[in-house]
Structure 1
């Protein structure tokens, strides 16, 4: 098979393409391997919504559900087995890539139970548990960047566990995420852990920012309409400026000398929600080296078909983007409220999806259990 020239060009520009989806069907059919071979996909991310979609009404899981129920497993144990089995298989599929890139790519992410988003201690406990169950070095544990998630990120990194920090919306919170990562590395070094074995990405959400801010701009009247569709990209660009600054610091240089890796920015929520916008805008306008762009398959195929990337981001682009956010705020959008709403909604959406997943599997267990 031949790599698509557009997705390969992104890869060559320093953008690691990770698929924002995973299912047993993708694994069994060879579809994921095909995307690796033809779309330059070098990693996978999952979340509760993805697992709910993968398992609901799919026969691929019936046999395992019946077997596990027959063994006396409860619904939460069954869900844990199904999800970690799929993630482990994906990790194994990417093992060669993980080895050939010294752990840089070939990564698969699994999220802690979203009901723990505001429970630091239990988040750390489950991060350790998931790492042990999956048992693969190319695993990332996803931890949300809530206020309570920040110390959990530090603690998990301090134990030598690689982390994908998720649900980041504001640049201020992103700074705190970077600090949590560096603090974790410093503690890991003190504990004698090889820093070169720890990797992390910081997942900065993009399209949800435009969805929320565009709605508020609509309420502000005609004069604000020119700013629609600009805040998501601008916010991410400012975040990349923070990345450049933080990882050029003396603090990181000390850690890097002992083998530490940068925490790459990851652009998440890159599926375009507004049909008036280019369906590749959150890829084309956020090319940067190094970054990760995790795409749903629809976006990935759009990129493969007609992506036209902008020039790579730099500090100047970040400064220009800051002016866009200032204009949005000057128009009357309360950005602090936007970030608070988006974080709360993000946690709620994942909690709801997790609850629906538990209900789906519970119903399957009931169907498989003799009356």
Structure 2
């Protein structure tokens, strides 16, 4: 365990890895990251699974058996991914037992259902039952259609990772959806202490879209604001989280054993080489949050990252002023958020197609 990563964990930031493969599980690499790098959770997505399946032979035996059983590609994808998540949950089970909120492993509902409430809920139920581990999280997108599915899933006792959140308004709707689900779960007699949730707020993509628009404006004032929107946006979100924790509505649920829906900083790999490669970790150090990192970012922070204290609490008003300034100089920030959500859902669907095509290729290979 490096001193820098330990300092990050000591500051209240849970370090989750944004990657999973059968090789990581079976070689002990994942367990080593828990021991040596303070990693206490994992997030996945279809692109991660596609890469793992394409680049390793550890899936071949299972694929061969499923092909022999005549299973269609969608079922093969389901069996391969839920097997990995189930086994990763077992790796993290000791962490889940020892900590209040960590030791979690996420798996996404089918992306084609992002605008289908009933389909999303059905997919969430199927994944929750198949993984069959209390430390699993089912990823549901924060689309308008996803919000009622979040409430319904939580009401049934399903732990949820709400993904594809880009702005404050939608994030507040996600918080409300979670609280509504908890209230329904309480009314149904569920043990609220068994339900966990995180809200995945995307970071680097915000700077990517805003910077592109600032570059197009090209003024000195515009260029001076590059690389600031994403962190400001996250600080505004954390302010909303703190408001909820201070509310009577939340206190009533907490007294019944409910767990807070922690903000999770997602997409924290820095894409612009002009920026510090630990920017979206160092600037978002604050208690009761998760930072899910690709391994490259994890290693960068372990090597030269700095924990300079809480960079987020009490910054919401100043951060909101910066976002308003963007709009004032010609960057329509609300439009940025709409664009990012549409692009996020589209990428979500394309990554699923990539995964299905990858599995189809593996099915053809082992079936020869």
Quick one: which of 329, 332, 335 aligns to 2:333? 335
Q: Which moved more, 1:323-332 or 1:82-91?
A: 323-332
- Is the contact between residue 42 and residue 104 of structure 2 (CA under 8 Å) also seen in structure 1? yes
1:130 aligns with 2:124: no
- Is the contact between residue 54 and residue 362 of structure 2 (CA under 8 Å) also seen in structure 1? no
Aligned residue number for residue 213 of structure 1: 210
Q: Secondary structure at the match of 1:110?
A: strand
CA deviation string 1:306-340 (max 9, x = no partner): 11123214542122211211111111111111111
CA deviation string 1:15-46 (max 9, x = no partner): 00000000011112211111111110000000
Counterpart Cα distance in 2 of 1:298 and 1:218 = 27
Aligned residue number for residue 182 of structure 1: 179
- Is the contact between residue 229 and residue 322 of structure 2 (CA under 8 Å) also seen in structure 1? yes
Note the C-alpha offset of 1:265.
0.4
Counterpart Cα distance in 2 of 1:311 and 1:9 = 10
Which aligned pairs between 1:19-34 and structure 2 lie closer than 5 A? 19-34=17-32
Quick one: which of 22, 25, 36 aligns to 1:38? 36
Give the aligned length.
Answer: 367
Quick one: which of 156, 161, 164 aligns to 1:164? 161
Q: Which moved more, 1:340-349 or 1:304-313?
A: 304-313
Which aligned pairs between 1:54-203 and structure 2 lie closer than 5 A? 54-102=52-100, 104-203=101-200
1:15 aligns with 2:13: yes
- Is the contact between residue 56 and residue 357 of structure 1 (CA under 8 Å) also seen in structure 2? no
CA deviation string 1:253-300 (max 9, x = no partner): 111110111110000000000000000010000011110000000000
Aligned residue number for residue 257 of structure 1: 255
Quick one: which of 301, 313, 326 aligns to 1:303? 301
- Is the contact between residue 214 and residue 228 of structure 1 (CA under 8 Å) also seen in structure 2? yes
1:321 aligns with 2:355: no
Quick one: which of 351, 354, 359 aligns to 1:361? 359
Counterpart Cα distance in 2 of 1:247 and 1:54 = 38
Counterpart Cα distance in 1 of 2:208 and 2:71 = 41
TM-score (norm 2): 0.98
Q: Which moved more, 1:131-140 or 1:318-327?
A: 318-327
Structure 1: unaligned runs, 5 residues or longer: none
Aligned residue number for residue 223 of structure 2: 225
Aligned residue number for residue 204 of structure 1: 201
Pairwise CA RMSD = 1.0
CA deviation string 1:342-362 (max 9, x = no partner): 111111112111111111111
